[in-house]
Amino acid sequence: MFRLLAKLQKTGLFGILLLFIPGMLTHADPLPVEMVFVEGGTYWMGSNEGAFAANEKPYQVTVSSCYIAMTETTQELWSSVMGSNPSRFQGKDRPVEYVSWYDAVRFCNALSKAEGLEEAYTISGSTIEWNHKANGYRLPTEAEWEYAARGGPLGAVGESALSRALYAGGSNASSVAWYDANSGRTTKSVATKEANELGLYDMSGNVWEWCWDWYNNYPGDPQENPSGPEVSSGRRVLRGGAWFTPVNLVRTTYRYWNAPGFKVNSVGFRIARNAE
């Protein structure tokens, strides 16, 4: 069923795919997951913007097509899979938070198993290996995340690197993001601000989102489907800013990081899947 729907989605640049795949019981049947098809392409990742230039030094990246969740993982979805809710700001439509990177990859495997998909991760204690060919849920790479946040083929692809990075959905942060100036110091229900060009919500603001990659400086030469350094830096990438951050941190190219065991009420994640 998924392959048939996926083929239908590829008839346009992008599309929203609502997956109704029969679940195999864990704690309960998992909720349907709303995924957006992101057609692959080549773009300049990063920006030349002022004070951020060293951290965001642009380089050319090619990413393959993939699916990325329309919203951050909600507390309702998390609870339907994991049977509990660790969040400090409770609300079924709010993003799950107070979850570590390890928690996020465990969730991906649990949801994959519940839907009869091949698990993307092999987990042995704190050692996590990613099977890049698995059809199950996973975290997006940093390159996939930024490409999708910037609108994929509708917004990220250009002749040159950005001199100024915008927010996911446009230049008006208050229209697309929850951050320190408008959040009331709390998370908000997902999809209550405007979506970006691909129909993705909250890629700027609300909660930070874990990515797969170890954090380090960008390589200078062009890369195809980069997934970060092979050697651990002790820090995993976080993207998108959060409810408490100033507006310049919800830019689509801003990079942050923390230890994979780190948990706080401003950190969550969204899920991805391979398109093939």
Q: Give the tens place of pLDDT for each residue, 55-77.
A: 999 999 999 999 999 999 999 99
Q: What is the pTM of this model?
A: 0.90
Above 50 in pLDDT, residue 276?
yes
Above 90 in pLDDT, residue 97?
yes
pLDDT of 28: 57
Segment holding 174, helix H or strand E: helix 173-176
Q: Which residues contact 127 (CB under 8 A, 6 or more apart)?
A: none
Structure tokens at 103: 């928690």
Give the mean model confidence (pLDDT) for residues 91-120.
98
Fold of the 2-274 domain: paralog of FGE (formylglycine-generating enzyme) (3.90.1580)
Q: Which residues contact 247 (CB under 8 A, 6 or more apart)?
A: 173, 177, 179, 180, 181
Above 50 in pLDDT, residue 245?
yes
Q: Write the pLDDT tens digit of every residue in 254-275.
A: 999 999 999 999 999 999 999 9
Q: Which residue has the higher pLDDT, 24 or 143?
A: 143
Closest Cα partner for 154 from 194, 197, 195, 196? 197
Q: Write the pLDDT tens digit of every residue in 166-175.
A: 999 999 999 9
Give the integer Cα–Cα distance in Å for 55 and 12. 34
Domain boundaries, the chain: 2-274
pLDDT of 29: 76
Angle subtended by helix axes 75-82 and 101-114, to nearest 10: 70
